[in-house]
Every structure is written in structure tokens, then in C-alpha cells.
Amino acid sequence: MGYFLQQLVNGLELGSLYALVALGYTLIYGILELLNFAHGDVFMVGAFLAAGAAAALVHNEVAAIPGGFVVVLMLLVAMGGAGVLGVAIERVAYRPLRNANRLAPLITAIGVSLLLENAVFVWVSPAPVLVPTNALVSQGIIQAGSVATPLTGLVLFAGSLALMIALDLFVFRTRFGSAMRATAQDREAATFMGIDVDRVIMVTFFLASALAGLGGVLFGLRYASVDFFMGYGLGIKAFTAAVIGGIGNIRGAMVGGLLLGVLESLSGGFISTQFQDTFVFLALIAVLLLRPQGLLGQPVTDRA
């Protein structure tokens, strides 16, 4: 039982990271019907920005200013930087193709992904970069019965959850959020309301990318190492989570991410770590066969 709970906790930590990145896929798909395959790499760039900010302020394991402030700076730099990167990618790579054949932006997205990975590989570091977490956050372990997790794991889970709730409130409770949903449902009709659709799309890219940047910070704090290829595997997992939850559906991405993390952790813990990804993608196939619109997705027949 203790082992099961431990795996469950590990899975929820990992799953909250998947969920954060999955939200970005789903937000952008929801509004443009575009699979933004560069999104995992925006997460990676966010993680590097955070690692860079930490490296600038921490020397020989000693932070120049209190660790908490360094973390706040890492959040600002990574979330802001990733957000601006996302907006720039949309402006330069996707907007010119908005009325093109749907295959064109998809291939462009793969191109942007390769570009980001290789740019970081060549200009930043081909080897993993360490994040000096010792100097930044308490390395304490939380123990509850037989279940133990580092404090950073709890921060990862709580931080993700808090931002997901904030995003949900923004999209479902504010006027701009309604405009985002309206744009997602019928872009031309949204312009008839006087909604500036370009601005809505820009804000959507900023939010999606900033969440990925947050994921990058939390990843670095929890796992203490970042590398140029980290966005690829995590991006695919997060995309899978978004599809399982119902792509385009915000709550679906959260549920899909958490489920996927738990499934991966449990199958790794109880069956085989080598085959844990197999189970993840088997789950995807099962969902696509039994409920192709995803767990929380609506069937696409309700367009008036």
C-alpha cells in the first residue's frame, strides 16, 4: 500500500508537469486548430532561461540574494521569456499561414521545434546544464507515513495546480476569456462582435507559452538538470495528455496530464520502467478507439 501511494505521489508530480504543458497544446489547438509541435521546445527554452537566471545569481552553491528571490526572478524570466517567444513564433511562423492548407502550419511547427532545439544545442549547451537547487529551495523531504517526497515535488504540484486554476478562472469567468472561447468556436463571428481576433490569438500564445515556461522552472527545481532535448519527450507526453483529455478542452488537459503521470508512474513501479511509455501510448490508443473526442471533449457535431 505504501509503495502504491508513493508511486501515486510521484505520478501526480510528473502529471502536474504534463498538465501544464498539455494546457498550452490545448489552448492553441482550441483557438487555431493548430498542433503547435514547437510547444515542448518552448518549455525547454523556459527551463534554460530559468537555469540561466539561476546561474547568474548563484556562485559556488551560494546565492547572491536570498534563494526565494532568485526563484521569483527565475519565474519572471522564464515565464515572460517563454511567453514572448510563443508570441514571436505565432507572429513570424504561423500567422502568415493562417489561411493556408492545414498541413503547412503543422510542418512549420515541426520546423520551429527543430530550430529551437538546434539553436540551444549550438549556442547554449549540447550537454545538460545543472540547476543549483541546493542554494535556492529547501532540500527537505516531506514524510507522511511511508510516503516521502522532496519539498520541491510538492512545490511542483501546488504551483502547477494554482496556475491551472487561475487559467481556468480567466478563461471561464472573465470577459476576455469569453472572447477567447468565442474566437475558438467561430472566428469570423467573433470579429462581427468587434473582437480583435489577432489580439486574442496573441494573448492565447502568451498564456500557453508562459505556462510552459512555468513548467520549465518547476522542472529545473525538481530534477536539477535541463538539456536541449528535454522538450521533445515531454512535449509528446503532454500532447498525448491533451488528446486523452480532449484536445481543445482546458479541464480535459488538466485531467489528461494528471492521469498520464499517474499511469506512467504506476506502470513503471509495478510492471516495468522500460515499458512505462508503452502503457502511456496504449492508453492513448484505447481512448482514441473508445472515445475519440477524448475524456472531456465534446463530439464535434454541435456547430450551429
Partner 1 sequence: MRYGAVPALRELSIEIRAGEIVCLLGGNASGKSTTMKTVIGSVRPAKGSVWYEGQDITNWNTSRRVASGIAIVPEARRIFPRLTVLENLMMGAFIRNDRAEIDRDLEGVLEMFPRLRERRTQKGGTMSGGEQQMLAMARALMSRPRFLCMDEPSMGLAPVLVEQQFETIQRLNATGITIFVVEQNATMALGIANRGYVLQSGRVVLAGTAASLLKNPQMQRAYLGM
- How would you class 185 by CB atoms within 10 Å of its CB: exposed for 0-12, middle for 13-18, buried for 19 or more? middle
Choice between 61 and 186, CB closer to partner 1: 186
Residue indicated by cell numbers 520546423: 111
CB 302, min distance to partner 1, A: 4
CB 206, min distance to partner 1, A: 20
What is the grid cell recorded at 144? 507522511
How far CA 268 is from CA of 83, 202, 272, in Å, comes to: 33, 39, 5
What is the distance between the alpha carbons of residues 184 and 203, in angstroms, rounded to a whole number?
Answer: 13
What is the grid cell recorded at 82? 517563454
Choice between 144 and 304, CB closer to partner 1: 304
Contact positions vs partner 1 (CB under 8 A): 175, 178-179, 181-182, 185-186, 188-196, 298, 302-304
Choice between 144 and 300, CB closer to partner 1: 300
CB 80, min distance to partner 1, A: 27
DSSP E strands: which ranges in the chain? 58-59, 62-63, 129-130, 141-144, 147-150, 225-226
Residue indicated by cell numbers 493548430: 34
CB 179, min distance to partner 1, A: 6
**296: helix, coil or strand?**
coil
Choice between 128 and 181, CB closer to partner 1: 181
CB 199, min distance to partner 1, A: 9
Choice between 182 and 236, CB closer to partner 1: 182
